[in-house]
Amino acid sequence: MPQLLAMACRSRSDVPAPVAALLARRSAYLAVSTMDQSRQLVSTMNTLERAGLRALAVKGPALAALAYPNPILRPSVDLDILVSTSEAQRAIAALASAGFKHDASCPAPAGDLRLDNEQTLTSPDGRTTVELHWALLPMGHSLPSTFDELWNRAQIVRLATGPVRTLGLEDLFLYLCQHGTKHGWERLMWVCDLAMLAAHFTNAAWEALLNRCRMAGTLRMVLLGLSLARNLLGIRLPPAAGRAIAADSNLRTLSAQVEHRMFEDASRTEGLRAHTRSLVFNLAVRERLRDRIRFCLWAVKPTIRDYGSIRLAGPLSLLYFVLRPLRLLVRHATPRAWPGHV
């Protein structure tokens, strides 16, 4: 978050000049990059619209324009766009016709979209990565809403380069909490997103969101996100959320775990131990037994990568459920850098 850091340093006289200059240069670079991402998002959304497809911008420039006083304060690495499952193949084809290329490291879906929830493509100029989703999150993390419901509750946000349609306020806040939970809240920027978005809620909107989460079994995820925003960034919680946090004895422990891990050395946040810890954390955040079971089933469910790594036919295809844990074991056995989720 160089922009926020650079802004804070402008009013201080104790920041070394080389550090201040480096932050200023990095901030300027990201400002230009953010505008370019905004342009690419509007262009990509227009491409899908011309093909007769419904699409929702998720996070990225849309979130920056909606939640932040200045969109350049919230940079993004890639663009996330959601379409319905029934239109996903048409959307991939429309983007391919416009010059987008499949990411060679991410196999394209071969008809069965249930094997994954997204496809990664690269813009024609090679400068932007677009993640096209037909589900916001994988099965074990998914929002309890259909695309049609999300579309009907969507809102228009105006970027410097044009308007785009994005998730409604409640859906966006809930998604950010579930996305943060999925990745163990590894990035402080995600907590900043919640803090900035929270300012747009009225007391009535908070009551509606919390009641909705109680019914869907996602209350603890939202309360954890709010607890982190309060503890790390000092936001003032709505009374209803404060009471709910105080009533959940697990939240203090979960919040302390996240706050400790967030500032760990990078070498300690990857590998098999960290992956196992992430699985345990995700189970603890879930309130209902059926959601924990669903998460466990997702954890062993074969993906496109599993089917692409080795070909098994007939009864042997059941071995994919054995091969997936083995592949994950190999993948996480050696520590590596965190991927760039934004």
State residue 145's pLDDT score: 86
What pLDDT is attached to residue 266?
Answer: 56
Give how far Cα 168 sits from Cα of 51, 175, 205, Å: 23, 10, 12
CB burial readout 205-228, b (16+ within 10 A) else e: ebeebbebbeebebbbbbbbbbbb
Q: How many helices (H) and strands (E) does the chain have?
A: 15, 7
Give the model's pLDDT for residue 338. 42
Q: Which of 280, 302, 279, 298 is nearest to 290 (CA)?
A: 298
| CATH code given to domain 36-167 | 3.30.460.40
Domain chopping of the chain, boundaries: 36-167, 168-263, 266-333
Nearest one of 99, 65, 67, 63 to 81, comparing CA atoms = 63
Q: pLDDT tens, position by position, for the chain (342 residues)?
A: 556 666 666 666 677 777 777 766 766 666 677 788 999 999 999 999 999 999 999 999 999 999 998 888 888 889 999 999 999 999 999 999 999 998 766 555 555 566 678 889 999 988 899 999 999 988 778 777 899 999 999 999 999 889 999 999 999 999 999 999 999 998 999 999 999 999 999 989 999 999 999 999 999 999 999 999 999 999 999 898 999 999 998 999 999 999 988 877 654 556 667 778 888 999 999 999 999 998 888 877 776 666 666 676 666 666 666 677 677 666 666 555 444 455
What pLDDT, on a 0 to 100 scale, did the predictor assign at position 57? Answer: 97
Indicate the pTM of the whole model.
0.83
d(CA 157, CA 154): 10
pLDDT of 192: 94
pLDDT of residue 313: 67
Place of tokens 């990059």: 33
CA–CA distance from 239 to each of 129, 222, 252 (Å)?
A: 40, 14, 17
Q: Are 194 and 200 in contact (CB under 8 A)?
A: no
d(CA 245, CA 247) in angstroms, rounded, equals 5
